């Protein structure tokens, strides 16, 4: 997912007029020619029948400070999934079957059996329609409860009264969108930048094309706001039109606000009042990686 150099050329054009008997003065002119930078179209492609596999991993570390003593709490989530391209519609949007094969939150199994989702995605990586995300959302809600148990004691043992099956699958498209790499709206050259507003985190993420080598685009990911810092990298296979790597490391100090908001929302959803713990992390580190897994032919 051929190193291309941007060449600034200077060509010197010289010319001489003469005759055999009477020589004339040689005249020369110098003209500077600046070539336009090479631009690359980075879009998702959906070759019918092709299936690709990914490993999605999320590592979280919370930094606590209790009575002057510092300690941390770590958690790891790993999910394996496949994407089967079933073709394109009349508008060129990809028809994809995504299968969540298996996953774990630390030693807790997330998916008891594979779960399938169908999606329609634009070449720009936008989820337009989906079917079956309700079950996936329910599984990840369990993970959310498990994670929030560090901040809201007992929340992982509350009976879940949210009936995800009654919600349209498209309701959860915004959360799935967060795992997808946003390609630029137009062709880009080395050094060009583009942005995407992450509606889940409430921040704007910036992307910069660093180089293109052997048909793969290498991209820097970075942003910074009052609540924290985010950096990472991405690798995209331009020729075949799919993501090879999306890696992001984020540091935030807004854990307390997130826990308070979650406690309020879950209290309303479950009918049971839940409250955050008195001790909340000073800072939370989250590392997210979605990585292409090559499969033997």
Which of 105, 123, 266, 267 shows the shortest CA–CA distance to 184?
123
Q: What is the residue-wise DSSP string for 25-46?
A: --EEEEEE--PPPPEE------
The 10 Å Cβ neighbour count of residue 113 is 7
Compute the average pLDDT of residues 246-271.
80
Question: What is the distance between the alpha carbons of residues 222 and 249, in angstroms, rounded to a whole number?
Answer: 9
pLDDT band at 201 (very low <50, low <70, confident <90, very high): low
Which of 10-24, 49-63, 105-119 shows the highest mean pLDDT? 49-63
pLDDT at 164 over 50: yes
pLDDT band at 283 (very low <50, low <70, confident <90, very high): confident
58 in Cβ contact with 286 (< 8 Å): yes
pLDDT at 67 over 70: yes
Q: What is the pTM of this model?
A: 0.78
- The whole-number pLDDT of residue 5 equals 27
Compute the average pLDDT of residues 159-174.
82
Compute the average pLDDT of residues 4-16.
27
- The whole-number pLDDT of residue 160 equals 57
- The whole-number pLDDT of residue 33 equals 67
Note the residue count of the chain: 297
**Domains present along the chain, CATH in parentheses:** 10-39 (no CATH), 40-293 (2.30.230)
266 in Cβ contact with 276 (< 8 Å): no
Question: What is the distance between the alpha carbons of residues 269 and 292, in angstroms, rounded to a whole number?
Answer: 36
- The whole-number pLDDT of residue 267 equals 79
Least confident of 63-77, 168-182, 269-283: 269-283
Chain-centre distance for alpha carbon 208: 14
Q: What is the 3-state secondary structure (H, E, C) of 127-181?
A: EEEEECHHHHHHHHHHHHHHHHCCCCCCHHHCCCCCCHHHCCHHHHHHHHHCCCC
13-52 per-position pLDDT tens digit: 223 323 234 444 444 444 566 788 999 999 999 999 999 9
Which of 195, 183, 289 shows the shortest CA–CA distance to 237?
183
- The whole-number pLDDT of residue 254 equals 72
pLDDT band at 145 (very low <50, low <70, confident <90, very high): confident
Average pLDDT, the chain: 82
pLDDT at 228 over 70: no
pLDDT at 104 over 60: yes
Which of 164-178, 204-218, 258-272 shows the highest mean pLDDT? 204-218
- For CA atoms 134, 136, 137, 141, the dihedral sign is positive
- The whole-number pLDDT of residue 31 equals 52
- The whole-number pLDDT of residue 226 equals 61
- The whole-number pLDDT of residue 264 equals 83
């Amino acid at each position: 997912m051929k190193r291309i150099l941007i060449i600034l050329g200077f060509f010197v054009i010289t010319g001489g007029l003469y005759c055999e008997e009477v020589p004339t003065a040689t005249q020369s002119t110098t003209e500077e020619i600046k070539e336009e930078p090479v631009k690359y179209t980075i879009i998702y492609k959906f070759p019918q029948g092709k299936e690709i596999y990914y490993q999605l991993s999320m590592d979280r570390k919370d930094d606590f400070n209790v009575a002057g003593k510092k300690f941390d709490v770590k958690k790891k989530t790993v999910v394996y999934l496949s994407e089967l391209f079933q073709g394109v519609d009349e508008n060129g949007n990809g028809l994809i079957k995504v299968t969540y094969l298996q996953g774990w939150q630390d030693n807790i199994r997330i998916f008891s059996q594979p779960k399938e989702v169908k999606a329609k995605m634009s070449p720009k990586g936008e989820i337009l329609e989906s079917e079956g995300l309700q079950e996936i959302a329910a599984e990840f809600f369990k993970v959310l409860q498990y994670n929030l148990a560090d901040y809201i004691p007992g929340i992982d043992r509350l009976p879940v009264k949210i009936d995800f099956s009654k919600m349209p699958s498209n309701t959860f498209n915004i959360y799935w969108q967060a795992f997808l790499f946003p390609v630029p709206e137009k062709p880009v050259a080395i050094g060009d930048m583009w942005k995407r507003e992450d509606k889940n985190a409430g921040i704007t993420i910036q992307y910069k094309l660093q180089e293109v080598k052997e048909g793969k685009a290498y991209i820097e990911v970075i942003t910074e706001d009052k609540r924290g810092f985010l950096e990472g990298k991405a690798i995209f296979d331009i020729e075949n039109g799919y993501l090879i790597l999306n890696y992001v490391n984020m540091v935030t100090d807004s854990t307390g606000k997130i826990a308070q908001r979650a406690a309020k929302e879950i209290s309303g959803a479950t009918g049971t009042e839940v409250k955050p713990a008195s001790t909340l992390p000073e800072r939370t580190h989250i590392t997210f990686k979605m990585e292409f897994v090559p499969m033997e032919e």
